[in-house]
Amino acid sequence: MSGFLLAVRTGFGFLSTIPVGITMEGLDELVKRSYLFVFTGIILGLLIGIFTGIVEYVFPANISAALVIVFIYYLTGLNHLDGLSDFGDGCTAHGSLEKKIKALKDMSLGIGGVAYCVIGLILLYASISSLQQQVYMTGTISSLPQWTILPLSLLVAEVGAKQGMLTIAAFGKSIHEGLGSMVIDTTHGGKYLAGLVMGGIVSVLGLGIIGLIGFVAAILGAFGVLNVSNRHFGGVNGDCIGTANEIARLTSLIAITLVLFAINAGYGGLSWMLL
């Protein structure tokens, strides 16, 4: 198998629960082509979008929102959520930089990690549920049927989540050796730009300007995680990258929801500009 195809396969093994297998050789090939994180996010986002379209048709809104969250973590696994929990423990630890990093790397789960995960899951449910409500009020976007808007929003959010991982890797400084540092040390310049262009094109093709807004919001969310990581830990590690995935997905969904809310409220002629 060529290095590129091995990297593609490993991307699904690393970023999802799809049983394709992971080897060190595959990881080496993947980190050399870290822009493939975004390609993996496109495929995962399409699968999440298809599932969303089905459950939206079959179940009431609140139940379908909960089922979408279940499917997201069934498909992508809990590694990134685990990173958010470790991030929460590190951020809420008191004391020196060394103590915070120790809490970040500690395998045990503390109250800070629990709180961050609970808040993150509540916000994810609230953003999907609120987005459902705004979609029902909006009607169509760029001639897209109403039923496609929520699935495409989930696609944009997942693509943005993976670009968020690239963002914190490209602009962050590694604080210790590990799998995270492998990604951080190799994600620069052209690789970041390749992911940015790929993700931006897919987002625009999906939801037009609104999709681009959601994609940019995901990147800004990742920069927020980077800022917090630098303040608390003096850099980033794999847990911070996983946290960026979770936060970028959230900020993307929230941004799309707020844009639709503004359109439905009739603010500033946004309907004419964005629909």
One-letter amino acid of 173: K
pLDDT at residue number 140: 63
pLDDT at residue number 268: 53
What is the model's pTM? 0.92
Ranges under pLDDT 70 in the chain: 1, 139-143, 267-275
**Domain limits, the chain:** 34-273
pLDDT at residue number 121: 97
DSSP string for residues in the chain: --HHHHHHHHHHHHHS-------HHHHHHHHHTTTHHHHHHHHHHHHHHHHHHHHHHHS-HHHHHHHHHHHHHHHH-SHHHHHHHHHHHHHH--S-HHHHHHHHH-SS--HHHHHHHHHHHHHHHHHHHHHHHHHHHH--BTTB-HHHHHHHHHHHHHHHHHHHHHHHHHH--BSS-SHHHHHHHH--HHHHHHHHHHHHHHHHHHHHHHHHHHHHHHHHHHHHHHHHHHHHHSSB-HHHHHHHHHHHHHHHHHHHHHHHHHHHHTGGGHHHHH-
Lookup: tokens for 204? 């625009």
Q: What are the C-alpha distances in Å from 268 to residues 221, 241, 262, 263, 265?
A: 25, 37, 8, 8, 9
pLDDT at residue number 201: 97
Q: What is the distance between the alpha carbons of residues 59 and 52, in angstroms, rounded to a whole number?
A: 10
Instruction: Encode pLDDT of 93-136 as tens digits.
Output: 988 888 998 888 888 888 999 999 999 999 999 999 999 999 88
